[in-house]
């Protein structure tokens, strides 16, 4: 009775205190700081599944469904019985899997024994990542202009990239997206790059960048679609893309009074592997720019999981965003002349 599991996190020998957790958004740590909450996936597999049946019956759950409460507690995340059910997490052995976007854990998969009436504390330690971004000082003219016009975390982008404060994964993501914008957008394209259609970048995370662009961007992408170099998806399915609008509404005073309904979201995907996804948020009113959510399709990112709901008996395969690995792929082929950094070991 009252069994629970308390997850604590550590990075480079320092505690990663959980500041907040929301099922629809993810988890936020006090250090290192990120631009937005990180997606979280949890798997808890009982070695004696039959112990879960009484809880399923009590809550009228179907098949193998099994839910838990997740709350911030003592700097970590506390897993306990659903809606305060004191017998909702039966004691016994479990295989635990924890994944957090852009991190790898030394012990992200482990077997634990939850004793009767116990609050089991599990310390999750990240693998040390010594990779660092070293700029090459080789921007083309359009990219240099875009960098000079951009501000991230309240700092000029050039200074932000040179600072040791932002996580290196965020820098790598932004620079990889600059590479994709500077490289030819599709074979035989008359326009050599998309960079010139972007006015500024104003947000950078481990998996995406937000930017303001010329309203001529969507017609240009439509032309690429007509030539079978890109695909038009219409309104994006993943709700995370709406954040490009909610971020802009908070960030730019000229949008005061506007709402999400004042924008039309359209998703475009570049053909081929490691292609750009550009979600355009076009204002329904007269406005000098459109707002864009830029990311590179690396596979099955965590943000495709709706709500980070925790299931017992089901391991959530989240995939990982690793822009350092993507850097190696971009450093060959038609994109290699537009790579703006090298990876060094700290």
For the residues 22-35, what does the mean pLDDT come to?
85
Asked if the bond preceding 32 is cis, omega within 30° of 0, the reply is yes
The reported pLDDT for the residue numbered 128 is 86
The reported pLDDT for the residue numbered 181 is 97
What whole-number distance in Å separates Cα of residue 288 and Cα of residue 271? 28
Percent of the chain surpassing pLDDT 70 = 92
278, pLDDT greater than 90: yes
The reported pLDDT for the residue numbered 291 is 98
287, pLDDT greater than 80: yes
**H/E run at residue 110:** strand 109-114
Residue with structure tokens 């700029």? 135
> pLDDT-based confidence at 191, cuts 50/70/90?
low
CATH number of 4-125: 2.60.40
Closest CA to 221 of 183, 261, 266: 266
152, pLDDT greater than 90: yes
E strand intervals along 146-304 = 151-152, 155-156, 198-204, 209-213, 230-234, 263-270, 276-283, 290-296
User: 98: which strand partners?
Assistant: 42
Query: Helix (H, G, I), strand (E, B), or coil: what is residue 207?
Result: coil
Query: Helix (H, G, I), strand (E, B), or coil: what is residue 233?
Result: strand
The reported pLDDT for the residue numbered 246 is 96
For the residues 337-344, what does the mean pLDDT come to?
96
The reported pLDDT for the residue numbered 41 is 87
Greater pLDDT, 148 or 25: 148
140, pLDDT greater than 90: yes
Nearest 5°: the CA angle 245, 99, 91 is 125
Task: Compute how many other C-beta atoms are within 10 angstroms of the C-beta atom of residue 149.
Answer: 14
Ranked by mean pLDDT, the top range of 63-72, 187-196, 243-252, 270-279 is 243-252
Ranked by mean pLDDT, the top range of 66-75, 160-169, 286-295, 315-324 is 286-295
Greater pLDDT, 311 or 73: 73
What whole-number distance in Å separates Cα of residue 282 and Cα of residue 265? 6
HSE value, Cβ hemisphere, 13 Å, CA-based, for 188: 6
The reported pLDDT for the residue numbered 298 is 61
For the residues 29-38, what does the mean pLDDT come to?
84
The reported pLDDT for the residue numbered 318 is 39
What sign does the CA torsion over 173, 323, 124, 71 have?
positive
The reported pLDDT for the residue numbered 239 is 84
315, pLDDT greater than 60: no
Percent of the chain surpassing pLDDT 90 = 70
Please name the residue ranges forming H helices in the chain: 53-59, 141-148, 157-162, 168-182, 217-226, 243-251, 323-330
What does the chain come to in residues?
346
320, pLDDT greater than 70: no
Lowest mean pLDDT among 31-40, 131-140, 220-229, 277-286: 31-40
For the residues 282-309, what does the mean pLDDT come to?
69
> pLDDT-based confidence at 66, cuts 50/70/90?
confident
Evaluate whether 288 touches 282 at the Cβ level (below 8 Å).
Answer: no
The reported pLDDT for the residue numbered 165 is 87
What whole-number distance in Å separates Cα of residue 278 and Cα of residue 267? 6
pTM of the model: 0.79
Query: Helix (H, G, I), strand (E, B), or coil: what is residue 228?
Result: coil
The reported pLDDT for the residue numbered 316 is 37
Task: Compute how many other C-beta atoms are within 10 angstroms of the C-beta atom of residue 236.
Answer: 19
What whole-number distance in Å separates Cα of residue 181 and Cα of residue 175? 10
The reported pLDDT for the residue numbered 299 is 44
For the residues 221-245, what does the mean pLDDT come to?
93
List, by residue range, all CATH 2.60.40 domains of the chain: 4-125
User: 111: which strand partners?
Assistant: 95
The reported pLDDT for the residue numbered 188 is 72
């Amino acid at each position: 009775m009252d069994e629970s599991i308390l997850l604590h996190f550590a990075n480079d020998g320092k505690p990663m205190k959980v500041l907040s957790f929301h099922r629809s958004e993810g988890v936020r740590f006090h250090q290192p700081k990120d631009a937005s909450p990180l997606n979280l996936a949890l798997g808890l597999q009982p070695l004696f599944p039959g112990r879960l049946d009484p809880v399923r019956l009590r809550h009228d759950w179907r098949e193998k469904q099994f839910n838990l409460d997740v709350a911030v507690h003592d700097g970590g995340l506390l897993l306990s019985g659903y809606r305060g059910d004191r017998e909702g997490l039966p004691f016994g052995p479990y295989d635990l899997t924890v994944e957090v976007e852009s991190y790898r854990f030394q012990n992200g998969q482990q077997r634990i024994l939850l004793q009767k009436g116990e609050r089991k504390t599990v310390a999750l330690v990240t693998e040390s990542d010594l990779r660092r971004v070293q700029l090459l000082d080789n921007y083309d003219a359009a990219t240099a202009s875009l960098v000079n016009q951009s501000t991230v975390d309240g700092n000029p982008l050039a200074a932000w990239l040179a600072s040791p404060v932002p996580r290196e994964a965020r820098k790598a993501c932004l620079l990889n997206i600059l590479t994709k914008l500077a490289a030819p957008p599709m074979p035989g394209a008359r326009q050599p790059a998309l960079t010139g259609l972007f006015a500024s970048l104003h947000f950078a995370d481990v998996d995406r960048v937000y930017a303001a662009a010329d309203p001529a961007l969507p017609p240009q992408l439509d032309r690429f679609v007509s030539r079978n170099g890109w695909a038009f998806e219409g309104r994006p399915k993943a709700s995370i893309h709406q954040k490009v609008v909610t971020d802009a509404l908070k960030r730019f005073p000229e949008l005061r009074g506007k709402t999400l309904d004042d924008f039309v979201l359209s998703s475009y995907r570049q053909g081929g592997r490691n292609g750009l996804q550009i979600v355009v948020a076009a204002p329904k009113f007269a406005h000098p720019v459109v707002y864009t959510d830029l990311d590179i399709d690396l596979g099955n990112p965590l943000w495709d999981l709706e709500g980070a709901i925790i299931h017992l008996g089901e391991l959530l395969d989240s995939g990982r965003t690793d822009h350092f690995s993507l850097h190696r792929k971009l450093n060959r082929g038609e994109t290699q002349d537009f790579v703006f950094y090298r990876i060094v070991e700290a």
